[in-house]
Amino acid sequence: MALLGNVVVRRPGEPEVYAETADLHQRFAPGDPAWGHPPLEVDVRSTDEGWGLVEDPGSLFGPTIVRWYPRFDGGGFADLLRTHSIYRTLDHDVREPLLDAIAERVRTRMGDRAPRRYLSVLRIGQRAG
């Protein structure tokens, strides 16, 4: 069995787009606990929780293999956010002004570049026996 997932991460010293847009999120969609800062990549890769390493996969599978793959970094941040469920569930009258404001903030404060780093994780478990 193979499971594939994605985790948003950041690296030290990279521009933090969430920090630059936190006030916009609060203004357009106040109080949403899902807004936050992504974890450091090194912390995600070394975790033994969530998508990380599993010591005992149970009796149906042997030890799991976990591989991490850097996947995405670049522009089109507002368009990317439109594909995320947390933004898609917002009312159109909230979502579009929020994303327009984020795009403008990225243009004016971040040199029109908002890196968004993902790790894609592949976990493979082979049937025991």
pLDDT, tens only, 98-129: 999 988 888 888 888 776 777 777 777 778 77
Residue ranges of the domains in the chain? 77-116
Structure-block tokens of residue 28: 């357009």
List C-alpha distances in Å: 84 to 7, 8, 18, 80. 13, 12, 15, 7
pLDDT, tens only, 65-93: 677 666 544 447 788 888 888 899 999 99
Strand-pair category, 65-70 with 117-124 = antiparallel
